Amino acid sequence: MKRREFIKFSACGLSVVAVGSVAQWPGFWPGGKAWASSSHDEMLELEMVEAMAEMVDGVRVPMWAFKLASALPGFTDTRTLARIPGPAIFAMEGDHVQLHISNDIRQGGRHGFAIPGVMLQVDGRQVERVEIARGDDVHIEFHAPAPGTYMYLDPFNAPVNRVMGLHGALVVLPNPLNNRTPFADPTNEVRLLFNHLGTTEHFPGHPWDPARNAVWVFNTVDPVKNALAAANDTAIAPSNFLGGYLPQYFTINGKSGFFGSQHHHTTPDGGDNGDHDDDHDHAGDRRAFDLAANISIRGRVGQPIVIRNLNAGLMWHSPHIHGNHVYPLSHADVRLDAVNGVTVAGERRILDNLLMVDTWAIPPATMEDVLLTYIAPPDIPSNFWARVAAGTNEELLPLFYPMHDHNEISNTAAGGNYPHGLTTHWQIDEPFDPTDVFSGVISVTRARLRVKTGRLELEGLYSAPGSGGVVILDVHAGGASGPLITDHVPVDGQGRWSYRGRALKALGSNLVTIMFHDPVNRSTVHAGRTVRLELR
Q: What is the pLDDT of residues 17-26, one digit of tens each?
A: 778 888 788 7
pLDDT above 70 as % of the chain: 87
Higher pLDDT, 249 or 433: 249
pLDDT of residue 28: 64
Helical H segments across 379-515, by residue range: 384-390
pLDDT of residue 272: 35
Query: DSSP 3-state assignment of 125?
Result: strand
**pLDDT higher than threshold 80 for residue 419:** yes
pLDDT digits 0-9 by tens, 99-108: 999 999 999 9
**pLDDT higher than threshold 60 for residue 520:** yes
Closest CA to 506 of 527, 532, 472: 532
> How far apart are alpha carbons 426 and 252 in whole angstroms?
14
**pLDDT higher than threshold 90 for residue 268:** no
pLDDT of residue 29: 55
Half-sphere exposure of 313 (CA within 13 A, CB side): 27
**pLDDT higher than threshold 70 for residue 274:** no
pLDDT of residue 269: 32
The one-letter amino acid at 439: S
Say which range, 15-19, 70-74, 190-194, 352-356, has the weakest mean pLDDT.
70-74
> How far apart are alpha carbons 193 and 356 in whole angstroms?
11
**pLDDT higher than threshold 70 for residue 151:** yes
DSSP per-residue letters across 440-505: --EEEEEEEEETTTTEEEEEEEES---STTS-EEEEEESSTTSPEEEEEEE--TTSEEEEEEE-GG
pLDDT of residue 127: 97
**pLDDT higher than threshold 80 for residue 351:** yes
> How far apart are alpha carbons 310 and 522 in whole angstroms?
38
pLDDT digits 0-9 by tens, 398-416: 888 999 999 999 999 998 8
- Backbone torsions φ then ψ of 35, nearest 5 degrees: -155, 165
pLDDT of residue 20: 82
- Model confidence band, residue 506 (pLDDT cutoffs 50, 70, 90): confident
- Backbone torsions φ then ψ of 442, nearest 5 degrees: -90, 125
pLDDT digits 0-9 by tens, 152-183: 999 999 999 999 999 999 999 999 999 999 99
**pLDDT higher than threshold 80 for residue 373:** yes
CA distances from 374 to 193, 279, 301, 440, 523 (A): 14, 17, 5, 15, 28
Altogether, the residues listed in the chain come to a count of 536
- Backbone torsions φ then ψ of 142, nearest 5 degrees: -160, 160
- Model confidence band, residue 75 (pLDDT cutoffs 50, 70, 90): low
- Contact in structure between 149 and 131 (CB atoms under 8 Å): no
pLDDT of residue 14: 66
pLDDT of residue 505: 80
